């Protein structure tokens, strides 16, 4: 995916189910609050992801700024809503992936990546050409578009989505989101279709698979049970 294709996608952005149709290349911001610039809040070895992702060596975790879901209880709200972070180039992101491979990370862990999918694909193209072989983890809120996920086919080894709500009431109340479950169910089906198998290396570190997470919220126990 070259820079012209990326620009064309971002000119009328429908990357996530919010489908804002804004021109992010002109500096306009949609619901996720991001423009066409790639903004990263943190890139570091992370030891506290799911044990089969982090292992002892850690996961090279890149926290992307902005978020298309925007939950009221977000633990990273200064990143997701406050847009804390620095502008970096796609080439620098590719370098970061390779630097962490050199430090022994188990995988590349992309956190809240949905609104930067075109940038990420281009960075992966560059880093793969330069020797990146680590599994790629797509770590997301569970609010993705199937069409956007299809762009990632062949790039992602492990999908790590949340599955937050079953009914619309908590989804609207806490994430301003209608039809969360319908969207999430379709996307998880697509993730499973792409990955097809689950595999681990001899240390128990996941190489391929889909892990679905659920956070039980206060007052939402019945929704959790139904889910
Ligand atoms: S990625 Fe951002 S601008 Fe694009 S549709 Fe989603 S919320 Fe809107």
Query: What is the CATH code of the structural domain delimited by 38-226?
Result: 3.20.20.70
The domain ranges of the chain are 38-226
Two tokens, residue 217: 């919220």
The pTM of this model reads 0.95
- Look at ligand 1, atom 1, and give the residue with the nearest C-alpha: 115
Q: What pLDDT, on the 0 to 100 scale, is given for residue 92?
A: 97
Residues 6+ apart with CB under 8 A from 41: 63, 64, 65, 76, 79, 84, 85, 86
127 alpha carbon to ligand 1 midpoint, in Å? 26
Tens of pLDDT, residues 27-76: 999 999 999 999 999 999 989 899 999 999 999 999 999 999 989 999 88
Residues with CB under 6 A from ligand 1: 13-16, 18-20, 22, 24, 30-32, 68, 115
> Is residue 5 very low, low, confident or very high in pLDDT (cuts 50, 70, 90)?
confident
Q: What pLDDT, on the 0 to 100 scale, is given for residue 148?
A: 96
């Amino acid at each position: 995916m070259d820079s012209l294709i990326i620009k064309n996608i971002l000119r009328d952005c429908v990357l996530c189910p919010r489908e804002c149709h804004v021109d992010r290349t002109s500096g306009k911001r949609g619901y996720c609050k991001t423009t066409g610039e790639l903004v990263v809040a943190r890139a570091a070895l992370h030891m506290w992801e799911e044990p089969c992702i982090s292992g002892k060596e850690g996961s090279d975790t890149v926290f992307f700024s902005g978020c298309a879901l925007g939950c009221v209880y977000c633990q990273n709200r200064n990143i997701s809503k406050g847009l804390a972070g620095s502008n970096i180039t796609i080439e620098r992101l590719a370098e970061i992936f390779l630097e962490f491979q050199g430090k022994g990370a188990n995988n590349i862990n992309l956190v809240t990546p949905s609104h930067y999918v075109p940038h990420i694909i281009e960075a992966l193209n560059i880093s793969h050409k330069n020797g990146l072989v680590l599994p790629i983890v797509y770590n997301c809120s569970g609010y993705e578009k199937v069409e956007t996920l299809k762009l990632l086919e062949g790039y992602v080894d492990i999908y790590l989505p949340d599955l937050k709500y079953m009914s619309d009431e908590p989804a609207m109340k806490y994430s301003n989101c209608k039809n969360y479950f319908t969207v999430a169910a379709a996307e998880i089906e697509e993730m499973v279709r792409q990955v097809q198998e689950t595999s681990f290396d001899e240390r128990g570190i996941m190489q391929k698979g889909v892990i679905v997470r659920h956070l039980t919220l206060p007052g939402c126990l019945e929704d959790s049970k139904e889910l």
